[in-house]
Chains A and B, each alone.
Chain A
Amino acid sequence: MYNLLIGGAAGQGVDTTAAILEKSFKASGYNVFSVKDFMSRVRGGHNFSLIRFGTTEIVSHSTIIDGIIALDDDTVRLHKDRLKASGFILCDIKLQTTDKRAIKINMTQMAKEIGNPRVAGSILVGAILKLFDESLAHIEKVLKTSVKINYLPMNNAAVKAGYNAVKKHFSHINGNYAGHMLISGTEAVAMGAVAAGLKFYSAYPMSPSTGIMEALAAKSNKAEIVVEQAEDEIAAVNMAIGASYAGACSMTGTSGGGFSLMVEALGLSGIAEIPLVVIDVQRPGPATGLPTRTEQSDLLFVKSASQGEFPRMVIALRNAQDAFYQTMRAFDIAERYQMPVILLSDQYLGDALSTVELFDPQRIKPAKPLFSYTGKNEYLRYAYTKSGISPRLIPGKSDQVVIIDSDEHDEQGHITESAEVRTQMVNKRMKKLTGLYHELIEPDFIGNNDFSILLLGWGSIWGPLKEAVDLLNQNTSKKYAALIFGDIYPLPTKLLKEKANQADSIINVEQNATGQLAKLIREETSITIDNSILKYDGRQLSGEEIARQIMGRDVL
């Protein structure tokens, strides 16, 4: 397995170069996993991408580096201490570093000979492919996906020039992942929504959720989806609810600040029983916080956001597969239970690219509302039923009228202050949870069945925690396991109670300061957690870092 870092100032092309390399490595058979670390600025500062690639499944980033592509001196200064002795630093000759591992090439001169200074990125791509012993078999195809056709010959020439400027440093390993998908959490959410039949997405731009709106907009004409950039998040969520009421499969997305503005409308979806899928791509808060960085600190907020009591579900996305399948499932649950379903992602998961098997959109078939009415009596939008779920008719598709109300209402949908109806309606809505409890998915269990130490996590910590459990079981004498929650509210407790019973010690691992999962577990089950590993600096825990914190030393 190799780990490559590309660093530079914003605007120097870190993203573009990384994207071409990621696709090239995957095309040659590698499993690729990459993450982005960037500042909230368009020019300057320091941004980097970490590209990890190998021939087995990779689920976490690593900070132990085999190669650095340094676009500026800062990159060398900030990252060289984590570069292995066997590693290299690829950079232009004008960089000042005297590190023995540096491989300097005269990029300016080479680009000049090719005729355009902007081909420097392609020179680096060529050099990297040679350093990692790759062929140039796939590069033309990959370049076509990132470079305008007029510039292709020039960039192909640049790749070749870079390739010929250096010598092989590492050896190629054959992998079987060329036919897999390479997809980010953001794109996987967008594809899950498209596959679920999304017709309307309304949102207001906010990092790190904007990528979902852009991904959907890019597919909107082909998949016939209306993507509406709303004037604010309040409009965005009310639009999604209005379109959903009228029969279009709808969704909105934001980050914590925008979610705060959407809170009242969550209750509207709850009391009016209108399906709503909302994704909160978390970033560190409160208020503006750290806009482009990662955190898992909205769990307790979203599970109780909005006044009053109504049923809802919160699903934490753990990886790219979850991002696709759980997004599809969110639409199904929102429709069947006629309530809000909140998806929790974060910057780490949203921006991380991973190598996954081709998604199967047939695996989940989201429910649809009624487009015609066959009942003999007048249609009652909020008819009392055993399950608490009233058949949902779409307005304008029959001779019946469909009345929804944010006030407490009777079966027809008309405003009421009757004490009896109020109680019956609250009971009807809350009863829907009984059905939901039966279909909750238990957390993922990872690790050794004979464990004595149980780690707990939720959402995007899945990958790093999985790698940590493997590292600990392989390199220490104790036995470890982890439970990682996807369905998180209502909290599935069966497997948790069983595994907690077996554990000598339980440790929660979360990207927040207060241990929100531990609090939720204590509230729901009375299980207390012995120790916590908490990180809230906006940077994601890696598998190695979790293992190091548990052992109090490096495990490798």
Chain B
Amino acid sequence: MNNKFCTYETAWCPGCGNFAIIDCLKTALTELGKKPSEVLVAAGIGQAAKTPQYINANAFCGLHGRSLPAAAAAKIANEDLTVIVNTGDGDSYGEGGNHFLHNIRRNIDITHFVHDNQIYGLTKGQASPTSMLGIVTGVQVDGNFNEPLNPVLLAIAAGAGFVARTFSGRKEHLTKIMKAAINYKGYALVDILQPCVSFNKINTFGWYNKRVYELPSDYDSSNKTTAITTAMEFGDKIPIGILYNKEKPVYHRKNRVLSDGIPLLDKPTSQSVVQELLQNYI
């Protein structure tokens, strides 16, 4: 079923949450009827950011923390592309924190899957912006004493129209959320909890599995106040599902040049316009 998007040998550790995430991504894309050539998977740097290496689709493997601006601009250039960013908590919320905030404001129709294992994997186990208080690492030798960021709460507060949380251990749920996020018209954030088998010995598969619970079917995801309260729940119980979902005007319809729906790269500048603009200087 995932053949179109192919299977590759990876450099991930056995048991890594990334396997489930990439598997579900391929399933989601296939079920949505996407062709590899119309999908762009962008990433920064990190273990999660290796995702585009292992999927048959257009791939933009850019700089650490900088995948959002590149992906957003690729979407501006060609809105026919389905643009997905797969990258980690360090890349998205640390190095790329400023871009995270401002792409919420832009509301470009891209999907942001954050593989959130609450640790730096590629650099071998330092605290990430979502690491819990007290976690001891090679750098945080006396335990992490900086408050963890709550990315879903932050995204809702900053005005994101689609914010979800899911868990790599619940593949059906993960696929369902991925499809909803890709279908959402606008910037969609999905914070995907995942274990790091090598460097995070606290937030393990079992730790997450014991705590996550699916939002009830009567949960009102269009209510921002409810969403904020629910997003704040992260402890003995961790809600997973679409925390907030509200239609908002997207960048391409707000921008006058793009509002007609013709991809920007298909709008060559006419010579008569150039001539007319030059005449203004005479």
Q: Determine whether A265 belongs to the interface, using a CB cutoff of 8 Å to chain B.
A: yes
Between-chain CB contacts (< 8 Å), 19 pairs: A179-B282, A181-B282, A183-B281, A194-B269, A199-B269, A221-B257, A230-B102, A234-B98, A238-B69, A241-B62, A245-B60, A245-B74, A246-B40, A246-B73, A246-B75, A248-B77, A396-B58, A402-B58, A415-B61
Chain B, residues 69-97, CB within 8 Å of chain A (1/0): the string is 11111111110110000000000000000
At the interface with chain A, which of B124-132, B187-195, B232-240, B271-279? B271-279
For chain A, which range describes its interface: under 10, 10 to 19, 20 to 34, or 35 or more residues?
35 or more
- B76→A248 contact, CB < 8 A: yes
State how many residues of chain B have any CB contact under 8 Å with chain A.
53
Pick from B69, B101, B282 the residue with the most CB of A within 10 Å: B69
Contacts of A243 in B (CB 8 A): 73-74, 76-77, 264
Interchain CB contact under 8 A, A226 and B76: yes
Check: B241 CB closer than 8 A to any chain A CB. no
Chain B positions within 8 Å of A362 at CB level: 271
Q: Which of B36, B50, B258 contacts A226 (CB 8 A)?
A: B258
CB under 8 Å from chain B, chain A span 215-274 = 219-226, 228, 230-232, 234-236, 238-248, 250, 264-265, 268, 272
Residue from A180, A222, A232, A406 within 8 A of B277 (CB atoms)? A222
Interfacial chain B residues near A241, Cβ < 8 Å: 62, 70, 73
Distance A395 CA – B56 CA, assembled complex (angstroms) = 13
| Cα distance A403–B61 in the bound complex, in angstroms | 8
Contact with B along A429-457 (1 / 0, CB 8 A): 00000000000000000000000000000
The answer to whether B50 touches A235 (Cβ under 8 A) is no
> Looking across the interface, which residue of chain A has its beta carbon closest to that of B281?
A181
Contacts of B254-274 to chain A: CB distance below 8 A: 255-258, 264-265, 267-269, 271, 273-274
Contact A403 B282 (CB under 8 A): no
Q: Which of A264-296 contact B (CB under 8 A)?
A: 264-265, 268, 272
Question: Does B57 lie at the interface of the complex (its beta carbon under 8 Å from any beta carbon of A)?
Answer: yes
**A17, CB-defined interface residue at 8 Å:** no
Q: Which B residues, 20 to 74, have Cβ-Cβ distances below 8 Å to chain A? A: 35-38, 40, 42, 45, 50, 52-53, 56-63, 66, 69-74
Decide: A404 and B59 in contact? CB cutoff 8 A.
yes
Interface residues of A (CB under 8 A from B): 179-183, 187, 191, 194-195, 197-200, 202, 219-226, 228, 230-232, 234-236, 238-248, 250, 264-265, 268, 272, 358-359, 361-362, 394-396, 398-407, 413-415
Q: Are A235 and B282 in contact (CB under 8 A)?
A: no
Nearest residue, chain A, Cβ from B40: A395
A225 touches B257 (CB 8 A): yes
A268's partner among B42, B50, B63, B74 (CB-CB below 8 A) is B63
